[in-house]
Amino acid sequence: MKARLAGLWRSMPLRLALLLVLLFTIVSLLSLAASYAVTQRSFEQAIRADLAQDMAGFRAAPGASALARLVEAESRETDPNRLILSYIGPNGRIYGNGAIARDNEGYHIVSIGAARAQYDGVYLTLTDTLYGGLLTIARSRAEITALREVFINILLVSLLPTVLIALSGGLILARRSKRHVEVIRGTLDRLTTGDLTARVAPGARWSDDLLRIGEAVNQMARAQETSVAALRQVSLDIAHDLKTPIQRVSVHLDDLDRAEATGEDRVEPLARARAELDGIAAIFQSLLQLAQVEQGDARAHFAPVDLTALCRTMIELYEPAAGEQGKRLICTLPETPAHVTGDRALLGQMIANLIENALRHSGDAEALDISLDQTADQVTLNVADGGPGIPAADRDKVLQRLYRLDRSRGTPGHGLGLALVDGVVKLHRARLELIDNAPGLRVVVTFER
């Protein structure tokens, strides 16, 4: 219970509520005090005016005895708790309903007679000498005292319930929002411990900001789930793509075993096993390289690269191999260097992969077009073949790791070439487009300068 209260105390809504209550209380107290002071002053002024008026009335009496009679007559009709009239005549006699006494503590108003009882309450007093005597008029400040009570009552009746209601409202709100936050926290806990299907289910009364946080958490969870699923798929694909050649290696080793026993030729199964292993190593190498390209560290040492020269080197490198396959590389390169900022080795490999891809998948088409164009602010590389092309629906998929069109299963390659091209393009913040060359595929890479 104590811990729960402590938890609530630290919660945002309760703190906000308390702060507001405190602010409201201070403002209310200040305004009440101010209006009390103003009212009190105007009451006092009214009393003082009354006193002056009373004094003026008595001063109208023609002589000392007339004044004494008037005071006597008036004082008989007045309540000494409200108004005290006291005239000490020239003869020393006291007329009226009270007298002023003085002791160590100051002046008091006391009743006339042997009792000399003191009247409670505070009075405002006006004294004047008239006809050789001393006239004192005192009016009670009881109304002002009553006023204070009224103000205290107002305070109790209005402020206290407000504070109580605000406090309990704050507590309720705090508990509610704690519940909502708890829902988000629980979801995050489940996500952390590996349950990527966990989602925040917001209630109908959730506040906007919590709704937004919940939605962001869900978005993050969805992204993570997708990428983990993709990763899992890639792992499965890798396992599958590697198990097949490993199986073949195992077959070739068996053949080797048998060849040893029967005295058959051992060179062939040995060469085959080695070739399969080279293939496996190549897949791993490509996967590693792809991962590193996607990591983006290579950007640290980007330098100007002349794509014209690089294309020329690559075309020259592949030209005899293409010729052997009965293909022609038709290239259109600019006369001048086309500089982009990048990694020469990776860009070279990108061009090589595009050429190899075109060579492999161009079917019966003979000519492959490779061209480079440059304008003031961009350089565009085009590699086009006249083969069967890629159906529009598959064009995004061929950029994924290890994805191969069904009809390409028989051709060499391991479905990583275009994935690496995509990786290198992204690393260079360039744009990759796969376009229908009608017939065939046209790959366009655009570098912004």
CB of 394 to another protein, least distance (A): 21
Where does this chain touch another protein (CB under 8 A) — which range of 35-43, 103-111, 207-215, 344-352? 344-352
CB closer to another protein out of 112 and 290:
290
Among 39, 292, 378, 400, binds another protein (CB under 8 A): 292
Judged by CB under 8 A, the residue of 304, 323, 337, 391 near another protein is 323
Q: Is 282 in the site for another protein (CB under 8 A)?
A: yes
* Contact between 348 and another protein per CB under 8 A: yes
**Spatial contact of 51 and 94, defined as CB atoms under 8 Å apart:** no
In the bound state with another protein, the residue whose beta carbon lies nearer, of 113 and 410, is 410
Rounded distance between C-alpha atoms, residue 160 and residue 370, angstroms: 85
CB of 431 within 8 A of CB of 379?
no
Q: Within its chain, how far is the Cα of 125 from the centroid?
A: 68
- By the rule CB under 8 A, 293 interacts with another protein: yes
SS (H, E, C) 325-380: CCCEEEEECCCCCCEEEECHHHHHHHHHHHHHHHHHHCCCCCEEEEEEEECCCEEE
Cα radius of gyration (the chain)? 51
Chain centre distance of CA 143: 58
Residue 412 in contact with another protein, rule: CB under 8 A: yes
Q: What share of the chain is helix, strand, coil (3-state, %, to 5)?
A: 60, 15, 25
Q: How far apart are CA 343 and CA 432, in angstroms?
A: 17
288 touches another protein by CB under 8 A = yes
User: Least distance from C-beta 336 to another protein, angstroms?
Assistant: 20
Between 89 and 348, name the residue whose CB sits nearer to another protein: 348
The residue among 120 and 324 lying less far from another protein, judged by its C-beta, is 324
| Helix residue spans in 263-343 (DSSP H) | 267-295, 307-324
Burial of 312 (0-12, 13-18, 19+ CB in 10 A): middle
Kindly state the smallest distance separating residue 20's Cβ from another protein, in Å. 57
- Compare residues 6 and 281 and give the one whose CB is closer to another protein: 281
Answer yes or no whether residue 277 interacts with another protein by CB under 8 A: yes
Report the site for another protein in 351-370 (rule: CB under 8 A): 352, 356, 359
Q: Which residues bind another protein (CB under 8 A)?
A: 277, 281-282, 285, 288-289, 292-293, 297-298, 301, 313, 316-318, 320-321, 323-324, 343, 345-346, 348-349, 352, 356, 359, 412-413, 417
